[in-house]
Amino acid sequence: MPIQFEYTEPEIVTCMKIVTPVVLSDEEAQVLIDKTVHLPELAKKVDHIDAWVKDLEAEPVFIHEGLGHWHMVIPKEWHHHFNKCVGGVSVLKKVIVSGILHKQIYYVNKDDTVKHLQEEIPFSKMVELTKPQPVLDEDEVVIRHFRPRIDVSWDLIRGGRLQQTGVIIVRIKLVEERQIFVQVCPSPDICPPGNLLEDPSLEQWSHHVPLFWGAANVRPTHIAHSGSFAAELGVVPTQEAALFQTIRANIAPGRSYKLSFWAREDFCGTSNYSLTAEVRFFNRMGMPVDGTSSSFPGSAIPDNGYQQFTISTPAAPIGAVTAIVRFTFMPNTSLPANNSMVKIDDVDFSCVGGI
């Protein structure tokens, strides 16, 4: 009786409610039809008979029983579902199969002319299920039937009476449409193409705030001869500065990511700071699950032009659904006091592989 499965997933997963057909039973009904028909004239022989089934229908028959009869079949955690039924449990035990056997009888009369006679014979059959099946909702039970198989034999008696025996075999499948929860898998694409950041070139600003980034102690700065912007960290050189963005799409376990960016020092006499670039992954509850970071001293960042820096992350761990890209400008507390700043531009955070 397919009503449950064991759930052993230890991690937080995304689930979706869907409707799925659950097969209750697969049965085969055999209907025997004996019929004698009087032909409108004497016949020398019956040439052939074409037969097919019309208006085939199947109607389920339900009974209601107390839940105690099904304690060994229905697990305890499912009892409240079946208690919704009047009388405890709605049980499917029988199916009524009905239809019309349509025949075209071709015979040869005494003048050696082939003629035909049409005949339709209603039939019905009560089918006992091999194993009775309790159902959650009677209205959701659907019976699917396949193309019937038909065999007709006949015997012409005294030229005017036709004795026929027909066998109809109907296969039916009983299905209940059930609402269940399924785990939603990540996208089958190993790596989505392109940069996952919004405004990676830091061109959109509102006063001193980048529109798609979080920032503190940061301002926009023009890049000479290009007309574009960059983010300058350390507007107050002796205070910490930060630039960060949260990525909420296309983060999934098993994928590796790469962070690259261009940086340049705005040298003002003393470089006594460090720049840290990091990527952190978070689960659905907002808890950090993994990440990586790299720190660069002021001496590693050129002051005569932009240089590209790159860091690679390990594969995103199980449960990771979001990531944060963050740049932290940290002036050192030792003397001499720092009075230089760092410019960040053209940041790229992209997927580079998966397992």
Specify the higher pLDDT residue, 259 or 267: 259
Domain shared by 167 and 219, yes or no: no
Predicted TM-score (pTM) of this structure: 0.53
**pLDDT range class, residue 44, cuts 50, 70, 90:** confident
Three-class DSSP labels, the chain: CCCCCCCCCCCCCCEEEEEEEEEEEEEEEEEEEEEEEECCCCEEEEEEEEEEEEEEEEEEEEEEECHHHHCCCCCHHHHHHHCCECCEEEEEEEEEEEEEEEEEEEEEECCCCEEEEEEEEEEEEEEEEEEEEEECCHHHEEEEECCCEEEEEEEEECCCEEEEEEEEEEEEEEEEEEEEEEECCCCCCCCCCCCCCCCCCCCCEECCEECCCEEECEEEEECCCCCCEEEEECCCCCCCEEEEEEECCCCCCCEEEEEEEEEEEECCCCCCEEEEEEEEEECCCCCEEEEEEEEEEHHHCCCCCCEEEEEECCCCCCCCCEEEEEEEEEECCCCCCCCCEEEEEEEEEEEEEEC
Chain segment 53-80, per-residue pLDDT in tens: 999 998 888 887 765 555 444 444 445 5
Domain shared by 217 and 178, yes or no: no
Domain shared by 282 and 146, yes or no: no
- Tell me if 335 is assigned to some domain: yes
**pLDDT range class, residue 182, cuts 50, 70, 90:** confident
Domain shared by 162 and 229, yes or no: no
Q: What is the mean pLDDT of the chain?
A: 85
Its domain, for residue 49, covers 15-183
- Tell me if 113 is assigned to some domain: yes
Chain segment 83-96, per-residue pLDDT in tens: 555 456 788 888 99
- Tell me if 68 is assigned to some domain: yes
Domain shared by 171 and 266, yes or no: no
Structurally, the chain folds into a number of domains equal to: 2
Domain shared by 350 and 257, yes or no: yes
Domain shared by 245 and 338, yes or no: yes
Domain shared by 230 and 120, yes or no: no
